Amino acid sequence: MIRIQDIDHVVFRVRDLDRMVRFYTDVLGAVFETYQEGPGLYQLRVGTSLIDLVPVDGKLGRMGGAAPGREGRNVDHVCFRVRPWDQAAILAHLAAHGLTGEVVSRYGADGDGPSIYIEDPEGNMLELKGPPA
């Protein structure tokens, strides 16, 4: 039996690499980790996981077909656990970056708890998930 423990990485195909890197580093606190020149893969660390960004005009990106957008998403959404959960601070931080979100209780891997949906600059849906209530 396979037992999945956590998310290892998520790969997003992107049109505007610089804008996406700024969003994930400035808004969500990711840290640039490495660049793999062969496949053209930019890797950002978020906790124990990675967010990989692949430009659609690069070698690996061209293999995925049409660029992401409203009419052709590559991923429905990715959920990130956020600890500690300071709702007011999180909402203020998002607002400072021009983002709004509603805190709603949703069920996740840890149970029911606070959750905020936001979109990155290229329309990928992200969920920020707090601890169970």
Global confidence as pTM: 0.78
Sequential pLDDT tens for the chain (133 residues): 657 678 878 888 888 999 999 999 999 999 999 998 888 889 999 998 999 998 888 877 777 777 777 666 677 688 998 989 999 999 999 999 999 999 999 988 888 999 999 999 988 889 999 999 8
Q: Is residue 79 part of a domain?
A: yes
Lookup result for tokens 């983002």: 99
Q: Is residue 2 part of a domain?
A: no
Q: How many domains, in total, are found in the chain?
A: 1
Q: Is residue 4 part of a domain?
A: no
**What is the domain extent for residue 74?**
9-129
Q: Is residue 25 part of a domain?
A: yes
